[in-house]
Chains A and B, each alone.
Chain A
Amino acid sequence: MFQYEKALQYPVKITRPNARLAKAIISQIGGPDGELGASMRYLNQRYTMPMRELQGILTDIGTEELGHLEMVSALVYQLTKGLTPEQLEAQGFTDYFVDHTTGIYPIAASGVPFSAATFQSTGDALTDLHEDLAAEQKARTTYDNLLRLADDPDVRDVIRFLREREIVHYQRFGEGLRLLQDQLVRSPQPENPYAYNTSFDPMPRRMNRMRNNM
Protein backbone atom coordinates (compact mmCIF):
# COMPACT_ATOMS: atom_id res chain seq x y z
CA MET A 1 0.00 0.00 0.00
CA PHE A 2 0.97 3.60 -0.27
CA GLN A 3 0.67 6.15 2.50
CA TYR A 4 0.68 9.89 1.99
CA GLU A 5 3.27 12.17 3.56
CA LYS A 6 1.97 15.71 3.79
CA ALA A 7 5.12 17.48 2.56
CA LEU A 8 6.88 17.85 -0.78
CA GLN A 9 10.20 16.04 -1.20
CA TYR A 10 11.81 19.44 -1.83
CA PRO A 11 10.15 22.83 -1.25
CA VAL A 12 8.33 24.65 -4.07
CA LYS A 13 7.72 28.33 -3.36
CA ILE A 14 7.14 30.39 -6.49
CA THR A 15 6.50 34.11 -6.00
CA ARG A 16 6.31 35.21 -9.68
CA PRO A 17 3.46 33.61 -11.71
CA ASN A 18 4.44 32.74 -15.29
CA ALA A 19 1.88 30.78 -17.33
CA ARG A 20 4.18 30.55 -20.37
CA LEU A 21 6.81 28.75 -18.29
CA ALA A 22 4.10 26.57 -16.67
CA LYS A 23 3.10 25.40 -20.15
CA ALA A 24 6.65 24.20 -20.81
CA ILE A 25 7.12 22.62 -17.38
CA ILE A 26 3.82 20.70 -17.64
CA SER A 27 5.63 18.30 -19.99
CA GLN A 28 7.28 16.81 -16.93
CA ILE A 29 3.79 15.91 -15.68
CA GLY A 30 2.23 14.35 -18.78
CA GLY A 31 4.92 14.46 -21.46
CA PRO A 32 6.77 11.52 -23.06
CA ASP A 33 9.58 11.60 -20.47
CA GLY A 34 7.62 13.05 -17.55
CA GLU A 35 7.20 11.99 -13.94
CA LEU A 36 3.79 10.33 -14.38
CA GLY A 37 5.23 8.02 -17.02
CA ALA A 38 8.35 7.44 -14.91
CA SER A 39 6.40 6.38 -11.82
CA MET A 40 4.04 4.16 -13.85
CA ARG A 41 6.98 2.57 -15.73
CA TYR A 42 8.86 1.54 -12.59
CA LEU A 43 5.88 0.63 -10.44
CA ASN A 44 4.48 -1.58 -13.23
CA GLN A 45 7.81 -3.20 -14.15
CA ARG A 46 8.68 -4.23 -10.58
CA TYR A 47 6.31 -7.22 -10.31
CA THR A 48 8.22 -9.49 -12.68
CA MET A 49 11.75 -8.44 -11.67
CA PRO A 50 13.74 -11.65 -10.99
CA MET A 51 15.77 -10.38 -7.99
CA ARG A 52 14.65 -8.89 -4.67
CA GLU A 53 17.16 -6.04 -5.07
CA LEU A 54 15.62 -5.08 -8.43
CA GLN A 55 12.09 -5.20 -7.03
CA GLY A 56 13.32 -2.94 -4.25
CA ILE A 57 15.02 -0.36 -6.45
CA LEU A 58 12.00 -0.13 -8.79
CA THR A 59 9.61 0.26 -5.85
CA ASP A 60 11.70 2.95 -4.16
CA ILE A 61 12.52 4.93 -7.31
CA GLY A 62 8.93 4.56 -8.56
CA THR A 63 7.68 5.95 -5.26
CA GLU A 64 10.13 8.87 -5.43
CA GLU A 65 8.85 9.65 -8.95
CA LEU A 66 5.32 10.01 -7.54
CA GLY A 67 6.82 12.62 -5.21
CA HIS A 68 8.40 14.34 -8.21
CA LEU A 69 5.05 14.32 -10.02
CA GLU A 70 3.62 16.18 -7.03
CA MET A 71 6.51 18.68 -7.06
CA VAL A 72 6.11 19.45 -10.79
CA SER A 73 2.35 19.75 -10.28
CA ALA A 74 2.97 22.21 -7.43
CA LEU A 75 5.23 24.20 -9.80
CA VAL A 76 2.54 24.43 -12.50
CA TYR A 77 -0.15 25.20 -9.90
CA GLN A 78 1.80 28.04 -8.32
CA LEU A 79 3.01 29.44 -11.67
CA THR A 80 -0.60 29.84 -12.88
CA LYS A 81 -2.21 30.92 -9.59
CA GLY A 82 -3.84 34.33 -9.30
CA LEU A 83 -3.55 35.30 -12.97
CA THR A 84 -6.49 36.97 -14.76
CA PRO A 85 -7.88 35.56 -18.03
CA GLU A 86 -6.20 38.50 -19.80
CA GLN A 87 -2.82 37.72 -18.25
CA LEU A 88 -3.20 34.01 -19.04
CA GLU A 89 -4.03 34.90 -22.65
CA ALA A 90 -1.07 37.29 -22.91
CA GLN A 91 1.18 34.49 -21.61
CA GLY A 92 0.05 31.99 -24.26
CA PHE A 93 -2.16 29.89 -21.94
CA THR A 94 -5.48 30.24 -23.82
CA ASP A 95 -5.63 26.76 -25.38
CA TYR A 96 -4.98 25.06 -22.02
CA PHE A 97 -7.32 27.44 -20.19
CA VAL A 98 -10.33 26.71 -22.38
CA ASP A 99 -10.33 23.00 -21.45
CA HIS A 100 -8.78 22.94 -17.98
CA THR A 101 -8.93 26.51 -16.56
CA THR A 102 -5.91 26.31 -14.22
CA GLY A 103 -6.56 22.74 -13.11
CA ILE A 104 -3.67 20.27 -13.31
CA TYR A 105 -4.10 17.86 -16.22
CA PRO A 106 -1.37 15.53 -17.54
CA ILE A 107 -0.33 16.71 -20.99
CA ALA A 108 2.94 17.30 -22.84
CA ALA A 109 4.18 20.82 -23.63
CA SER A 110 2.83 20.22 -27.15
CA GLY A 111 -0.68 19.69 -25.72
CA VAL A 112 -0.77 15.93 -26.37
CA PRO A 113 -2.46 14.18 -23.39
CA PHE A 114 -0.50 11.66 -21.33
CA SER A 115 -0.29 8.22 -22.90
CA ALA A 116 0.80 4.89 -21.45
CA ALA A 117 2.32 4.33 -24.91
CA THR A 118 5.24 6.52 -23.73
CA PHE A 119 6.61 3.68 -21.57
CA GLN A 120 7.05 -0.07 -21.61
CA SER A 121 6.83 -3.02 -19.28
CA THR A 122 8.22 -5.87 -21.34
CA GLY A 123 8.29 -8.60 -18.71
CA ASP A 124 12.01 -9.05 -19.45
CA ALA A 125 14.28 -7.63 -16.74
CA LEU A 126 17.24 -7.00 -19.05
CA THR A 127 15.10 -5.03 -21.50
CA ASP A 128 13.20 -3.13 -18.80
CA LEU A 129 16.39 -2.02 -17.04
CA HIS A 130 17.80 -0.70 -20.32
CA GLU A 131 14.58 1.25 -20.85
CA ASP A 132 14.89 2.64 -17.32
CA LEU A 133 18.45 3.85 -17.90
CA ALA A 134 17.34 5.58 -21.12
CA ALA A 135 14.28 7.06 -19.39
CA GLU A 136 16.42 8.76 -16.74
CA GLN A 137 18.63 10.31 -19.43
CA LYS A 138 15.60 11.50 -21.42
CA ALA A 139 14.13 13.15 -18.33
CA ARG A 140 17.52 14.71 -17.60
CA THR A 141 17.55 16.21 -21.11
CA THR A 142 14.04 17.62 -20.60
CA TYR A 143 15.10 19.27 -17.34
CA ASP A 144 18.21 20.63 -19.08
CA ASN A 145 15.95 22.15 -21.74
CA LEU A 146 13.69 23.65 -19.07
CA LEU A 147 16.80 25.21 -17.46
CA ARG A 148 17.55 26.81 -20.84
CA LEU A 149 14.06 28.38 -20.83
CA ALA A 150 13.57 29.34 -17.18
CA ASP A 151 15.18 32.42 -15.69
CA ASP A 152 13.20 32.58 -12.40
CA PRO A 153 15.71 31.47 -9.71
CA ASP A 154 12.91 29.90 -7.59
CA VAL A 155 11.87 27.70 -10.52
CA ARG A 156 15.45 26.89 -11.51
CA ASP A 157 16.24 25.72 -7.98
CA VAL A 158 13.45 23.12 -8.12
CA ILE A 159 14.32 22.01 -11.67
CA ARG A 160 17.97 21.59 -10.69
CA PHE A 161 16.98 19.34 -7.78
CA LEU A 162 14.80 17.18 -10.04
CA ARG A 163 17.51 17.02 -12.72
CA GLU A 164 20.05 15.81 -10.18
CA ARG A 165 17.71 13.02 -9.06
CA GLU A 166 17.55 11.70 -12.66
CA ILE A 167 21.33 11.31 -12.58
CA VAL A 168 21.24 9.49 -9.22
CA HIS A 169 18.49 7.16 -10.48
CA TYR A 170 20.53 6.45 -13.63
CA GLN A 171 23.43 5.44 -11.39
CA ARG A 172 21.24 3.14 -9.26
CA PHE A 173 19.67 1.47 -12.33
CA GLY A 174 23.17 0.94 -13.69
CA GLU A 175 24.05 -0.91 -10.49
CA GLY A 176 20.81 -2.90 -10.79
CA LEU A 177 21.76 -3.92 -14.32
CA ARG A 178 25.18 -5.01 -13.07
CA LEU A 179 23.56 -7.18 -10.36
CA LEU A 180 21.49 -8.89 -13.05
CA GLN A 181 24.47 -9.34 -15.36
CA ASP A 182 26.48 -10.89 -12.51
CA GLN A 183 23.78 -13.58 -12.40
CA LEU A 184 23.60 -13.99 -16.18
CA VAL A 185 27.29 -14.97 -16.38
CA ARG A 186 26.46 -17.89 -14.07
CA SER A 187 23.91 -19.21 -16.54
CA PRO A 188 24.66 -22.41 -18.51
CA GLN A 189 25.15 -20.17 -21.54
CA PRO A 190 27.24 -17.27 -20.20
CA GLU A 191 28.24 -16.26 -23.72
CA ASN A 192 24.59 -15.54 -24.58
CA PRO A 193 22.91 -13.10 -22.17
CA TYR A 194 19.67 -13.51 -24.13
CA ALA A 195 19.42 -17.27 -23.62
CA TYR A 196 17.05 -16.75 -20.69
CA ASN A 197 14.32 -14.21 -20.09
CA THR A 198 15.15 -13.99 -16.39
CA SER A 199 11.67 -12.65 -15.62
CA PHE A 200 9.92 -15.57 -17.32
CA ASP A 201 12.02 -18.70 -17.87
CA PRO A 202 12.77 -21.16 -15.04
CA MET A 203 16.25 -20.34 -13.74
CA PRO A 204 19.01 -22.94 -13.34
CA ARG A 205 19.92 -23.54 -9.69
CA ARG A 206 23.44 -22.15 -10.13
CA MET A 207 21.92 -18.68 -10.69
CA ASN A 208 21.42 -18.70 -6.96
CA ARG A 209 20.26 -15.10 -6.47
CA MET A 210 17.40 -15.35 -8.93
CA ARG A 211 13.84 -15.89 -7.85
CA ASN A 212 12.57 -19.06 -9.42
CA ASN A 213 9.29 -18.62 -11.20
CA MET A 214 8.56 -22.35 -11.22
Chain B
Amino acid sequence: MAMQSRSLDKMERAELLRVVQMHQFAMQDLALYLDTHPTDETALEHFMQHKALCEQASKVFAARFGALKMEQTGTENGWAAWSNTPWPWDMEAN
Protein backbone atom coordinates (compact mmCIF):
# COMPACT_ATOMS: atom_id res chain seq x y z
CA MET B 1 0.00 0.00 0.00
CA ALA B 2 2.84 2.38 0.90
CA MET B 3 4.51 1.78 -2.45
CA GLN B 4 1.28 2.47 -4.27
CA SER B 5 0.83 5.72 -2.30
CA ARG B 6 4.22 6.89 -3.53
CA SER B 7 3.43 6.10 -7.13
CA LEU B 8 0.06 7.89 -6.87
CA ASP B 9 2.02 10.94 -5.74
CA LYS B 10 4.10 10.88 -8.92
CA MET B 11 1.35 10.27 -11.47
CA GLU B 12 0.27 12.92 -13.97
CA ARG B 13 -3.25 14.28 -13.45
CA ALA B 14 -4.89 12.24 -16.26
CA GLU B 15 -3.19 9.01 -15.17
CA LEU B 16 -4.24 9.45 -11.54
CA LEU B 17 -7.80 10.31 -12.61
CA ARG B 18 -7.86 7.03 -14.60
CA VAL B 19 -6.97 5.12 -11.41
CA VAL B 20 -9.89 6.76 -9.57
CA GLN B 21 -12.28 6.16 -12.48
CA MET B 22 -11.17 2.55 -12.90
CA HIS B 23 -11.86 1.61 -9.27
CA GLN B 24 -15.04 3.65 -9.22
CA PHE B 25 -16.30 1.86 -12.31
CA ALA B 26 -15.49 -1.53 -10.79
CA MET B 27 -17.49 -0.48 -7.72
CA GLN B 28 -20.46 0.67 -9.80
CA ASP B 29 -20.52 -2.52 -11.84
CA LEU B 30 -20.19 -4.72 -8.75
CA ALA B 31 -22.90 -2.68 -7.00
CA LEU B 32 -25.43 -3.49 -9.72
CA TYR B 33 -24.51 -7.16 -9.47
CA LEU B 34 -24.76 -7.08 -5.67
CA ASP B 35 -28.23 -5.51 -5.89
CA THR B 36 -29.53 -8.75 -7.39
CA HIS B 37 -26.98 -11.07 -5.67
CA PRO B 38 -26.74 -9.56 -2.16
CA THR B 39 -25.33 -12.72 -0.57
CA ASP B 40 -22.39 -13.19 -3.00
CA GLU B 41 -19.45 -12.77 -0.61
CA THR B 42 -16.78 -12.91 -3.34
CA ALA B 43 -18.42 -9.98 -5.16
CA LEU B 44 -18.68 -8.04 -1.90
CA GLU B 45 -14.99 -8.71 -1.21
CA HIS B 46 -14.06 -7.36 -4.67
CA PHE B 47 -16.27 -4.33 -4.01
CA MET B 48 -14.49 -3.60 -0.73
CA GLN B 49 -11.04 -3.94 -2.35
CA HIS B 50 -11.91 -1.46 -5.11
CA LYS B 51 -13.55 0.85 -2.57
CA ALA B 52 -10.34 1.05 -0.52
CA LEU B 53 -8.19 1.68 -3.62
CA CYS B 54 -10.68 4.24 -4.95
CA GLU B 55 -10.74 6.19 -1.69
CA GLN B 56 -6.94 6.20 -1.53
CA ALA B 57 -6.51 7.45 -5.11
CA SER B 58 -9.37 9.95 -4.79
CA LYS B 59 -7.80 11.44 -1.67
CA VAL B 60 -4.42 11.89 -3.38
CA PHE B 61 -6.12 13.35 -6.46
CA ALA B 62 -8.09 15.85 -4.37
CA ALA B 63 -4.97 16.99 -2.52
CA ARG B 64 -2.94 17.43 -5.71
CA PHE B 65 -5.46 18.52 -8.37
CA GLY B 66 -8.65 19.65 -6.64
CA ALA B 67 -11.73 18.09 -5.10
CA LEU B 68 -13.72 15.37 -6.89
CA LYS B 69 -16.43 15.61 -4.24
CA MET B 70 -17.59 18.72 -2.42
CA GLU B 71 -16.72 17.09 0.92
CA GLN B 72 -13.05 16.97 -0.17
CA THR B 73 -12.87 20.76 -0.34
CA GLY B 74 -10.58 21.94 2.44
CA THR B 75 -9.84 25.38 3.78
CA GLU B 76 -6.20 25.30 2.64
CA ASN B 77 -6.92 25.70 -1.07
CA GLY B 78 -10.13 27.71 -0.70
CA TRP B 79 -13.32 27.18 -2.65
CA ALA B 80 -11.42 27.31 -5.94
CA ALA B 81 -10.30 23.70 -5.36
CA TRP B 82 -13.91 22.76 -6.13
CA SER B 83 -15.19 25.40 -8.53
CA ASN B 84 -12.10 26.58 -10.39
CA THR B 85 -10.61 23.30 -11.56
CA PRO B 86 -11.71 21.86 -14.95
CA TRP B 87 -15.29 20.56 -15.08
CA PRO B 88 -15.73 17.01 -16.41
CA TRP B 89 -17.13 17.94 -19.85
CA ASP B 90 -14.02 19.97 -20.70
CA MET B 91 -11.49 18.06 -22.78
CA GLU B 92 -8.65 19.09 -20.46
CA ALA B 93 -10.48 17.57 -17.48
CA ASN B 94 -10.13 14.14 -19.05
Using CB atoms and an 8 Å cutoff, list the residues of chain A in contact with chain B.
3-15, 53, 56-57, 60-61, 64, 70, 73-74, 77-78, 81, 168-169, 172, 175-176, 179
| Residue in B18, B25, B31, B35 whose Cβ sees the most chain A Cβ within 10 Å | B35
Using CB atoms and an 8 Å cutoff, list the residues of chain B in contact with chain A.
17-18, 20-21, 24-25, 28-29, 31-33, 35-38, 66-70, 82, 85, 87-89, 91, 93-94
User: CA A12 – CA B32 in complex, angstroms?
Assistant: 23
Chain A contacts of B17 at CB under 8 A?
7, 11
User: CA A7 – CA B67 in complex, angstroms?
Assistant: 10
CB distance from B61 to the nearest CB of A (A): 9
User: CA A167 – CA B93 in complex, angstroms?
Assistant: 28
CB distance from B55 to the nearest CB of A (A): 13
Chain A contacts of B28 at CB under 8 A?
9, 60, 64
- Of all A-B residue pairs in the complex, the 7 with the closest CB atoms, nearest first, are A74-B89, A175-B36, A11-B94, A57-B35, A56-B35, A13-B94, A8-B88
Q: Is the interface of B mostly helix, strand, loop or mixed?
A: helix
User: CA A151 – CA B66 in complex, angstroms?
Assistant: 34
**B89 and A3 contacting across the interface, CB-CB below 8 Å:** no
Chain A contacts of B66 at CB under 8 A?
6
Given A8-B94, A11-B94, A169-B32, the answer on whether A53 and B38 have CB atoms closer than 8 Å is yes
**A6 and B68 contacting across the interface, CB-CB below 8 Å:** yes
Given A53-B35, A60-B35, the answer on whether A4 and B29 have CB atoms closer than 8 Å is no
**A70 and B69 contacting across the interface, CB-CB below 8 Å:** no
**B70 and A4 contacting across the interface, CB-CB below 8 Å:** yes
Q: Name the residue on B nearest A59 (C-beta).
A: B35
CB distance from B58 to the nearest CB of A (A): 9
Q: Name the residue on A nearest B88 (C-beta).
A: A8
Between-chain CB contacts (< 8 Å), 30 pairs:
A4-B69, A5-B24, A6-B88, A7-B21, A7-B24, A7-B88, A9-B21, A9-B25, A10-B21, A10-B25, A11-B17, A11-B18, A11-B21, A12-B89, A13-B91, A53-B36, A56-B35, A57-B32, A57-B36, A60-B28, A60-B32, A70-B88, A70-B89, A78-B89, A168-B29, A172-B32, A172-B35, A175-B37, A176-B36, A179-B36
Chain B contacts of A61 at CB under 8 A?
32
CB distance from B89 to the nearest CB of A (A): 4
CB distance from B40 to the nearest CB of A (A): 12
**A60 and B31 contacting across the interface, CB-CB below 8 Å:** yes
User: CA A11 – CA B25 in complex, angstroms?
Assistant: 12
| Residue in B20, B24, B88 whose Cβ sees the most chain A Cβ within 10 Å | B88
User: CA A43 – CA B21 in complex, angstroms?
Assistant: 23
Given contacts A6-B85, A15-B91, list 9 more A-B pairs with CB under 8 A: A6-B82, A8-B89, A9-B28, A11-B18, A13-B91, A56-B35, A60-B28, A77-B89, A78-B91
CB distance from B84 to the nearest CB of A (A): 12
